[in-house]
C-alpha cells in the first residue's frame, strides 16, 4: 500500500488568477522551480499555461528544458541561476544575468532568447552588487546587443510588511533600473510583494509559494486556496497495554490500553521527523488522531483508540486544508516554513492530479 499526494490543479490556477487580479502592475509569472515546489513541474506548468500564464521561472537549465517541453513555444522560461560557463539555452531559455561576468558570457552567445538583468538591492545573494551596478552605469556599452527583456530585483523581507528594507529595496531598484536600464520592463514583487501595495508593482510579478497555497500574508487570513492533500494507508493496528512504549527511543508510553496505527509514510517521504511530539496529529474519518512516538524513515504511528472503526487499509490524512494540517501549520510545528514542507515531499508518493 502506498501513500497518495493529491494536487489540486484547479486551486493552483485559481491562485494564479487571484494574484493577477491583486497585482497592481503588469503580467504575473509562475515560479515552478524545484519541480513546482515538489508538486510536479510538468503538470503545474501546463495548468498555469491553460490559465493564461506566459512567464515561467526555474532555478536550473535542466528544469527549464523540462518546462519548455510541457508548455511548448510562445512562453518565456527564465533561469534564475543563469547558465554555466559555455552553456547556451538557445531560443528555448532566458538566462538571468547575475554579475558582470554573466553579461560578458552572454554577449558572446547569440542572444536568441534575450536575457534578464538582476540587480541586487539588499538580498546579498545573486545579482549585480552596488559596485558592479556603478561600473555598469559608467560603461553602458556593456549592455549593447544583450536584448534585455526585464531588469529584476528580489525582495528580502516582503513577508514582513513593516520591515524598512522593503521600501529601501523598492527605492534602490527604481533608481538603479532608471540609471542602468532605462525603458527596460521591470520585475520586483514575489508572492508576498504582490500584497505590499502599488509601490511594489512592476511589469512582471514572480509569485511562487502563493500559487501552491502557502500564505503570502503571514499573520493574516490566507487569501490562497490549498492545493495539496496527503493521505497514507494504515499498514497495521497494534493493541498495547498501559505503560507500553512506541517507537525509537521509547519516547512515548501509553497512558491507558491503546490502539496504535502504523502508517506508511515517514521522513524519507518528507513527513518530517520534527513533527514527532508537540501535538502532531492526523485525521482519520474526520477525527483527529494524535501522533505518538517518533516519526521514522518509512513509518509513523498514531493513537486511534478513539476511532473504533480504524482498520488496516484505511487512509489517514497527513496534510490538507483542515486547520492544523496545512503546509503552513505543519511548518510551524516543525519550526520551519511552508516552502520546506512542500519541497521535501518525497518521490515515493503516488501523485494524483485533480
Could you tell me what percentage of the chain is helix, strand and coil, using 3-state DSSP and rounding each to the nearest 5? 30, 25, 45
The grid cell for 79 is: 533561469
- Give the DSSP H or E segment for 312: none
**Beta strand pairing call for 55-58 and 350-353:** unpaired
Residues constituting the chain: 354
Locus of grid cell 547558465? 83
φ and ψ at 290, to 5 degrees?
A: -75, 140
Cα dist. 249→46, 259, 279 in Å? Answer: 46, 19, 18
* CA-wise closest residue to 116 among 148, 84, 164, 153: 148
- Whether 353 is a known active-site residue: answer no
* Cα within 13 Å of Cα(59), Cβ side: 8
Locus of grid cell 497514507? 232
Q: From the candidates 37, 150, 212, 248, which is the catalytic residue?
A: 248
C-beta separation of 112 from 90 below 8 A: yes
Locus of grid cell 494504515? 234
Q: From the candidates 33, 150, 212, 349, which is the catalytic residue?
A: 33
- Whether 248 is a known active-site residue: answer yes
Please list the alpha-helical segments (H only) found in 23-122.
33-38, 41-51, 61-71, 100-107
First to last CA, the chain: 21
- Give the DSSP H or E segment for 100: helix 100-107
In three-state secondary structure terms, 45 is: helix
In three-state secondary structure terms, 353 is: strand
Compute the distance between CA of residue 122 and CA of residue 331 in angstroms, rounded to an integer: 26
Catalytic residues: 33, 248
Amino acid at each position: 500500500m502506498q501513500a497518495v499526494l493529491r494536487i489540486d490543479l484547479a486551486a493552483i490556477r485559481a491562485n494564479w488568477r487571484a494574484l493577477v487580479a491583486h497585482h497592481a502592475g503588469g503580467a504575473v509569472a509562475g515560479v515552478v522551480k524545484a519541480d513546482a515546489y515538489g508538486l510536479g513541474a510538468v503538470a503545474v506548468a501546463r495548468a498555469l499555461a491553460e490559465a493564461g500564464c506566459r512567464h515561467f521561472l526555474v532555478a536550473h537549465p535542466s528544469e527549464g528544458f523540462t518546462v519548455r517541453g510541457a508548455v511548448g513555444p510562445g512562453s518565456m522560461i527564465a533561469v534564475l541561476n543563469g547558465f554555466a560557463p559555455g552553456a547556451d539555452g538557445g531560443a528555448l531559455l532566458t538566462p538571468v544575468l547575475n554579475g558582470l561576468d554573466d553579461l560578458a558570457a552572454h554577449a558572446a552567445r547569440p542572444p536568441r532568447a534575450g536575457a534578464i538583468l538582476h540587480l541586487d538591492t539588499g538580498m546579498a545573494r545573486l545579482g549585480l552588487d552596488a559596485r558592479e551596478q556603478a561600473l555598469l552605469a559608467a560603461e553602458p556599452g556593456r549592455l549593447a546587443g544583450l536584448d534585455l527583456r526585464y531588469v529584476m530585483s528580489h525582495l528580502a523581507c516582503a513577508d514582513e510588511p513593516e520591515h524598512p528594507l522593503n521600501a529601501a529595496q523598492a527605492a534602490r531598484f527604481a533608481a538603479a533600473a532608471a540609471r542602468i536600464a532605462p525603458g527596460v520592463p521591470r520585475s520586483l514583487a514575489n508572492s508576498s510583494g504582490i500584497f505590499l501595495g502599488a509601490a511594489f508593482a512592476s511589469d512582471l510579478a514572480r509569485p511562487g509559494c502563493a500559487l501552491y497555497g502557502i500564505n503570502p500574508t503571514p499573520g493574516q487570513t490566507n487569501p490562497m486556496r490549498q492545493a495539496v492533500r496527503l493521505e497514507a494507508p494504515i499498514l497495521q493496528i497494534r493493541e498495547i497495554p498501559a505503560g507500553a512504549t512506541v517507537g525509537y527511543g521509547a519516547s512515548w508510553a501509553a497512558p491507558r490500553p491503546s490502539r496504535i496505527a502504523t502508517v506508511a509514510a515517514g521522513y524519507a517521504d518528507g513527513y518530517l521527523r520534527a513533527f514527532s511530539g508537540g501535538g502532531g496529529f492526523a485525521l482519520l474519518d474526520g477525527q483527529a488522531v494524535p501522533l505518538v512516538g517518533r516519526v521514522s524513515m518509512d513509518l509513523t504511528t498514531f493513537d486511534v483508540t478513539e476511532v473504533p472503526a480504524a482498520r488496516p487499509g484505511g487512509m489517514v490524512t497527513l496534510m490538507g486544508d483542515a486547520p492544523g494540517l496545512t503546509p503552513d501549520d505543519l511548518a510551524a510545528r516543525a519550526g520551519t516554513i511552508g516552502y520546506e514542507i512542500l519541497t521535501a515531499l518525497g518521490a515515493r508518493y503516488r501523485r494524483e492530479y485533480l
